[in-house]
Amino acid sequence: MGKLFEKVRIRGMELPNRLVMPPMVTDYGNEDGTVSQAMIDYYARRAKGGVGLIQVEATSVDSLHLLSRYQLRIDSDTYIPSLKALTQAIHENGARASIQIHHPGRQEPSSVSQTQPVAPSAVALPVPGYDMPRELATEEIAGLVERFAAAAARAKEADFDSVELHGAHSYLICQFLSPLSNRRDDEYGRDTHGRSRFARECIAAVRERVGPDYPICLRISGQEFVEGGLILEDTTVIARLAEEAGADFISVSAGNGMARQWSTQSVLSPKGCLVPLAQEIKQAVTIPVMVAGRINDPGLAEEILERGQADLIAMGRGLLSDPDLPLKAREGRSSEIRRCIACLTCSYYRSRGGLVCLINPEVGMDGKTEDKAAVSRKVLVVGAGPAGLEAARVAALRGHQVTLWEEAPQLGGRWSWLQRKAITERLQGLKALGVTAETGCDCSAEAIAAAQTESVLITARLRPVLQEGISGAGVALVDAVLEGSATVGRRAAVLGGGNTGLEAAFFLTNRGHQVMVLEPGPTLGKGLEGRLTPQIQERLKPKGTRFYTNTRPVSYDGKRLTFATGAGQETAQVDTVVVALGYEEDDSLAAELKGRGVEVQSLPACSQPFLAHPASVEGVAAARRI
């Protein structure tokens, strides 16, 4: 790790290494826009783990236009004290601190709007939940430039070591930069030079307010990946103009509000997917260039630096899953890193109550410790799904003697392909806590009662939902298909287009099968984060996979599948029908044990990837009641 842990100087700021935690909105802020204790604990924990620079999340320069009800604010001096408490915590734990100043422009959710959004042009974001913006008058733009400059001055007063202007992801600065959203014919539009004027004026105004030695970063979307949007030819020019205006380093991301799969990449995106963009931009400027994009491995980060493709590595979700990643890498313990699996659980739940992480359940609770139980008890956890795993972990942390039983030959339960690696990571942590984990167990009421433990936590069993008229030879359950115990013919029909159905389609298509997916409901991808479903379809359609919605199977005779669509009945030659219609919970075992007088708590099963986190939360709550 030669280059990764080199010191770097950017104007008056010296970084202890080249690893940067980029801005990621947490929604941990207080409703009045101030910093909460949970937010301080969260950032302090990442600083303690050894990252060189922490760029605090998008912080509003305009109280009338917010990204969420919990967005941090820096539009008034009243916010300086709480921001200073945050920088103090980051500095005390060894990292430098930056802050991203932000205006949503047209990408202001209507659910939090206090007024009509503003934008360079009256062009609405073609996504539900956003209103038509009002075009900014030329004379209004100077006031917005001043807002960014004043925010940067407050950031410096709050002891931030640097400031970043958010010019990516289709927010206000990016809206000016992009021909997709900027249709102006005045000096702030027309061509790349004109469209970059607002960004250049913001940079110059910030420089005037913060002085010559204070580092300024501009984050840009190297490409928007939407027809009519920014392309690399534009952004190399924009980066060069930003350098001339006074920017000290460029942070390269990608995508916009219509191409979110490029701004926060899923497991289907290759690691380091934005490096080619950064490499081209780096050749256009002389200032340092930072790159993000599924770089969760320190070895990959080192390769990017050694090849000269970037100067700084932005590693966001990798520091959610393991805040100690920098320390582990520096000490030669990379094998111990809990790597991000790009499951998008963080994105899914951030807008539903705050940032979380499937791999690291402590995210959002970084300053909390589990209280020890008054009396240590023998605890049996039955079922190694997410609820059971978390119940076992927290019970062990509280001082109980914990045994974990699983009926299946492997721990983890019926998890989606997105989550399998997460199971392995959690099991390693359980072993370190002294939890005894056993597989292939007899989990009958008799066996559990005979174990004579003092407290039992049982995960409900999952029963597959079956389809009337679809049974017999040639019919297989999705679990058997994914586990490899079922024989599947060349032509396969998957009944159900939820997470397991799409998983089966992905699995079979990539093994050469001809696949059709029949979903009885109106939409595909139930149980998956929204941007994953279109990505899966984009991968599979060129290989001949067909997708049907509002389609109900009628009968199957072992060779022909009859199904009903809105246009009537159709038939298809099918060798195997894979049933993936979801699951029902069976809690009868817990009821039987309670009838025997055993102290039992029921835990929820997890049938969909995005039920994993709430199931884990319930597992924690159950363990705390023991």
pLDDT, block means (10 residues), the chain with 626 residues: 93 97 96 97 98 98 94 98 98 98 96 92 94 97 98 98 98 98 97 98 98 98 96 98 98 94 92 97 98 95 97 97 96 90 84 82 87 95 90 95 89 59 72 91 93 92 89 92 91 95 94 97 89 92 96 93 92 96 90 90 84 87 94
275-284 and 232-245 helices cross at what angle (nearest 10)? 50
Architecture of domain 475-581: 3-Layer(bba) Sandwich (3.50)
Task: Encode burial over 402-440: b for 16+ CB neighbours within 10 A, e otherwise.
Answer: bbbbbebeebbbbbbbbbebbbebbbebbeeeebebeee
Smallest CA-to-CA distance from 247 within 187, 328, 166, 317 is with: 166
Residue 509 to residues 119, 264, 339, 514, 542, Cα–Cα distance (Å):
44, 26, 27, 6, 10
Alpha helices in 211-344 (DSSP H): 232-245, 260-263, 275-284, 298-306, 317-321, 325-330
For the chain, report the end-to-end CA distance as a whole number of angstroms.
Answer: 45
Triad 212, 213, 216: Cα angle to 5°: 90
User: Which residue blocks in 226-316 are alpha helix, DSSP H?
Assistant: 232-245, 260-263, 275-284, 298-306
Domain residues of the chain, as ranges?
8-350, 378-463+584-624, 475-581
- Set 79, 130, 171, 548: catalytic member: 171
CATH topology of domain 8-350: TIM Barrel (3.20.20)
Would residue 171 show up in a list of annotated catalytic residues for this protein?
yes
**Burial annotation 230-240 (CB, 10 A radius, 16+ → b, else e):** beeebbbbbbb
Q: For the chain, what is the radius of gyration of the CA atoms?
A: 26
Half-sphere exposure of 382 (CA within 13 A, CB side): 25
470 SS3 class: coil
How far does Cα 252 stand from its chain's mean position?
A: 18
Q: What pLDDT does 315 receive?
A: 97
Distance CA 592, CA 605 (A): 18
Could you tell me which residues come within 8 angstroms of residue 279 by beta carbon, excluding any fewer than 6 positions away? 309, 310
Angle at 129 between CA 124 and CA 132, to 5 degrees: 25
Tell me what pLDDT residue 338 has: 87
CA nearest to 292, candidates 118, 168, 132: 168
Return d(Cα 527, Cα 535) in angstroms, integer.
15
Question: Any idea which residue has 């795993």 for tokens?
Answer: 389
In this prediction, residue 422 carries a pLDDT of 66
Task: Specify the pLDDT at position 606.
Answer: 82
**In CATH, what is the architecture of 378-463+584-624?**
3-Layer(aba) Sandwich (3.40)
Mention every residue, 6+ apart, whose C-beta is less than 8 A from residue 226.
180, 256, 258, 259
β-sheet bridge partners, residue 253? 221
β-pairing, 560-565 vs 378-382, is unpaired
Q: What is the pLDDT of residue 351?
A: 65
